[in-house]
Amino acid sequence: MADAVPAPAVPAPSPADLAALSRPERVTALDTWLTGLLDAALAAAPHPTGRRGQPAPPPGTGVALVAVGSLGRREPAPHGDLDLVLVHDGRAGIAELANALWYPIWDAGHKLDHSVRTVAEAVQVAGTDVKAGLGLLDVRHVAGDAELATALRSATLASWRQSAGRLLPELRDLRRGRSRTVGELGFLLEPDLKEAYGGLREGQVLRALSLAQLTDAAPADAEDAYRLLVDVRDELRRRARRGTDVLVRQEQPGVAAALGLPDDDVLLRQVSLAGRRLAFVADETWRRVDAALVRRPRARYRRVRREPLAEGVVRHGDEVVLARDARPAADPGLVLRGAAAAAHADLLLSPYTLRVLSAHSPALPEPWPAEVRWSFLRLLASGRSAVPVLEQLDQEGLLTRMLPEWDRVRSLPQRHPWHRFTVDRHLVEAAAAAAELTRDVDRPDLLLVGALLHDIGKGWPGDHSEVGAVVITEMATRMGFTAPDVAVLAAMVRHHLVLPDVATHRDPDDPATIDRVVEAIDGDAALLHLLHALAQADGAATSTAAWSPWKAHLVAALVGRVAARLGSSVEPEPVLAPGDAQVVAPPPEIPGPSRPVTVGVEDVVDGQQVTIGAPDRPGLFSLCAGVLALNQLDVRAARVTVENGYATSVFAVRPRFGRAPVPEILADGVRAALEGTLPLAERLAQRERDYSQDTTRGAPPRVAWFDAEATGAANTLVEVRATDRAGLLHRLTAALAGEGLDVRGATVETLGADAVDAFYLADPSGTPVDAGQRERVERALLLAAAGTAPDPARH
């Protein structure tokens, strides 16, 4: 049948042709082509005869082609599906007519989502399938019987409103489930513009809720946010030349340029702002819908309890609203007082209250009165309950009115993969985490404010810690803190990374490490404990990868050692780092190099500790590191001690795939490597190829020297930053051994795709590493980090 259909007057546009058009032009081209297809199919189909005694219906009556989904909304995406429904009145031969319509669309290379239904069948589907019902709300007549298309739209809309009480909870759960699996659009580095929570689906759901007559139409700024996401989606698909909605990193610069934006960070920030606005409006709308769908006893309608919470605000049902005698225009502290009361009661401010406060609240006096500052601290001290309230203040523009510097970090993306949130949301999450630690410090007020503002400097160019210390000085002074308190807050921001950096990159037993921290905090024990709590809050707000139990333990141990140096009452916590661990199975007392290879394994915080004893020889540490890498063990710290020609190497490790190390297997591997029967470099290179690691991405490796931070037997410290790869520690230590240097200790940290390895080195002769040797060592380390060094096992 399809072969006999005459060709339509309009030639078929290909997906590439349509992608080159603007959105209105794309809609017009598709409508014109589809109309021609239906006309041609109807011309070739047998014309239905009238019933006995009735005239035959005019051609084209009783069948209509309608667009649903994105085409129905007049926003078809480049390289997207064509969502079409062929509606009919029960006429015979509809299957043949449908085939004559669909096949030319497929032949032109388009993806098609199609169905053939009567109005009654469409209504039945819309009333039972929430996804299908959502799509049918966008019915738009394209060709054929316009009255039939209008009847379909009216019937499906009526069915949607009638079935709303049953279908909307399903739709709500569906969207919240997508939030858990896909994530929130506002906080993703590579967001799914359609399915992530706050994406295009939210705009469509808001429209559906309005059509169900349960809510008003979405506000204008939500419509603007939706249109921005549609524009970004179109440019993404046009560049990718396929039907993708995930804004991947490599496409972001091109999409930004096509939209006239300065760079990809500005693009991602605008996408984040749009997604957060849609998510915020959707959450608020769903609360209204849930309240409307819940059947309450009649007595509840007659009287809703009003409970005073603070001066000027009361609890009304499940929201916080203004009291009858509240005067927002004459009460500068009302915003923070109401927000603190809401968070303390684990409630939200009502949307109407937010709008009134936004429209009428005056600017805060400078410096803030004590009552205003107390409300602000009470809000932050509410912990997790404060997060949605702060988001309410942010979305209504009230937060930036009180803290103008906040606008510099709003939805500012953080490109490192360990960050879960934009800068502003990370700060709010850090303050919420700090609220659980206020009993551990003498000044909980400074901890809360320091946590909220510790990364505020990221909104300006330069080192964010140094810039942030200047910015928070101005902000804290405006908040009314005393000069000594302002100085403490500035020190917290300036040094908020000191404890995690030193604990993970330096030897906690080295006196130079302790001296560095003491100098940074100027010997202030109270500041030390504030920085410890801030490090915990910062890490918890970042991700589990950034703040593992192992890192938390290292930081706590470092704090204990520094506190002991300062004479604080805090005892140093035992650190499960190299040198502090006990060998599980002590080697037999055989003197010197004739002692055998021994391996002991014991469980420690967030991993295991492996102790390897073997006769000392050049490159032994590298061989041990290579054996551990072959056994899928990530090394996080290590130390070597040598006595009477016998070396004891202690490694803090974590299994990459959850399998605990087996001492016998490790011992066999070390013996084979020592005997030369285990080609470590070759096996590690094969492991790297097997796991298809991309060794070319990221910044080039860097080497830095820190003489002043090494004491004792190790006379220098070298740090290597490079892309992580299988056996990296083995290659680096092999390079050091090849230059005649002994590795006495190491700390290793993997940050996403990057590794930061620090090595305490000693020259066997006892002399410091001179400039010429440093140049050779640096060159060898760079080659090893890039994976181009020669096989150390063959040299």
Which 8-state DSSP code applies to residue 544? T
Residues 443 and 521 in one domain: yes
Least confident of 133-142, 358-367, 393-402, 598-607: 598-607
The predicted structure's pLDDT at residue 693: 47
Residue 516 lies in a domain: yes
pLDDT > 90? residue 547: no
Among residues 689, 688, 682, which one has the least CA distance to residue 725? Answer: 688
Cβ-contact 63, 144 below 8 angstroms: yes
More confident residue, 495 or 696: 495
Residues 613 and 728 in one domain: yes
The predicted structure's pLDDT at residue 582: 34
- pLDDT-derived band at 748, boundaries 50, 70, 90: confident
Least confident of 172-186, 343-357, 579-593, 630-644: 579-593
d(CA 272, CA 410): 9
Residue 69 lies in a domain: yes
pLDDT > 70? residue 295: no
Residues 640 and 701 in one domain: yes
Residue 170 lies in a domain: no
pLDDT > 70? residue 59: no
Question: Which tokens in the block code for residue 214?
Answer: 């349960």
Residues 634 and 781 in one domain: yes
Among 274, 289, 307, residue at a domain's last position: 274
Domain CATH code at residue 134: 3.30.460.10
Phi, psi of 152 (to 5 degrees): -65, -45
Q: pLDDT over 90 for what percent of the chain?
A: 53
Residue 408 lies in a domain: no
Residues 566 and 432 in one domain: yes
pLDDT > 70? residue 3: no
pLDDT digits (tens, 9 = 90+) for 559-583: 999 999 988 654 444 444 333 333 3
- pLDDT-derived band at 34, boundaries 50, 70, 90: very high
The predicted structure's pLDDT at residue 727: 82
Residue matched to tokens 């993970």: 504
pLDDT digits (tens, 9 = 90+) for 64-116: 999 998 999 999 999 999 999 999 998 888 999 999 999 999 999 999 999 99
pLDDT > 80? residue 534: yes
Residues 340 and 448 in one domain: no
Mean residue pLDDT across the chain: 86
pLDDT > 70? residue 246: yes
- For 749, the domain range is 592-794
Mean pLDDT within 536-542 = 93
More confident residue, 793 or 481: 481
Cβ-contact 110, 82 below 8 angstroms: yes
Residue 131 lies in a domain: yes
- pLDDT-derived band at 12, boundaries 50, 70, 90: confident
Domains in the chain, number: 5
pLDDT > 60? residue 49: no
- pLDDT-derived band at 303, boundaries 50, 70, 90: low
State the pTM of this model: 0.80
- The listed range with the strongest mean pLDDT (123-132, 235-244, 346-355, 754-763) is 346-355
For 740-767, b where at least 16 C-beta lie within 10 A, e where not — what string?
A: ebbbbbbbbbbeeebbbbbbbbbbeeee
Region of 397 (left: φ > 0; alpha: ψ -120 to 50; beta: rest) is left
- The residues, any chain, with a CB within 8 Å of residue 483's CB and separated by 6 or more, are none
Cα–Cα distances (Å) from 90 to 63, 95, 380, in that order, read 9, 11, 64
Helices (H), 183-263: 200-211, 220-240, 252-258
Provide, for the chain, the percentages of residues in helix, strand and coil under a 3-state DSSP scheme, each rounded to the nearest 5: 55, 15, 30
Residue 414 lies in a domain: no
The predicted structure's pLDDT at residue 591: 42
- The residues, any chain, with a CB within 8 Å of residue 197's CB and separated by 6 or more, are 175, 176, 178, 179, 182, 183, 184, 185, 275, 279, 282
Cβ-contact 24, 17 below 8 angstroms: no
Residues 442 and 362 in one domain: no
Residue 53 lies in a domain: no
Among 571, 605, 636, residue at a domain's last position: 571
Q: pLDDT over 70 for what percent of the chain?
A: 88
Which 8-state DSSP code applies to residue 410? T
d(CA 596, CA 594): 6
d(CA 416, CA 422): 11
What's the distance, Cα to Cα, between the start and end of the chain in Å? Answer: 76
Q: Long-range contacts made by residues 177-184, C-beta under 8 angstroms, separation at least 24? A: 184/275, 184/276, 184/279
The predicted structure's pLDDT at residue 5: 60
pLDDT digits (tens, 9 = 90+) for 429-453: 999 999 999 988 989 999 999 999 9
Number of other CB atoms surrounding residue 184 within 10 Å? 21
Residues 207 and 77 in one domain: no
More confident residue, 312 or 568: 312
Residues 654 and 704 in one domain: yes
Cβ-contact 172, 289 below 8 angstroms: yes
pLDDT digits (tens, 9 = 90+) for 184-220: 999 998 999 999 999 999 999 999 888 888 888 889 9
The predicted structure's pLDDT at residue 603: 85
pLDDT > 70? residue 469: yes
Identify the bridge partners of residue 742 per DSSP, sorted by sequence position.
762
- pLDDT-derived band at 425, boundaries 50, 70, 90: very high
pLDDT > 90? residue 592: no
- The residues, any chain, with a CB within 8 Å of residue 297's CB and separated by 6 or more, are none
pLDDT > 60? residue 650: yes
Residue 287 lies in a domain: no
The predicted structure's pLDDT at residue 136: 87
Angle at 201 between CA 237 and CA 271, to 5 degrees: 60
The predicted structure's pLDDT at residue 651: 87
Question: Which tokens in the block code for residue 26?
Answer: 């794309």
Which 8-state DSSP code applies to residue 178? H
Cβ neighbourhood burial of 112 (10 Å; 0-12, 13-18, 19+)? middle
d(CA 517, CA 388): 36
Cβ-contact 223, 183 below 8 angstroms: no
Residues 512 and 596 in one domain: no
Residues 461 and 540 in one domain: yes
Residues 488 and 560 in one domain: yes
Mean pLDDT within 267-286 = 95
**Radius of gyration for the chain, computed over Cα atoms and rounded to the nearest angstrom:** 34
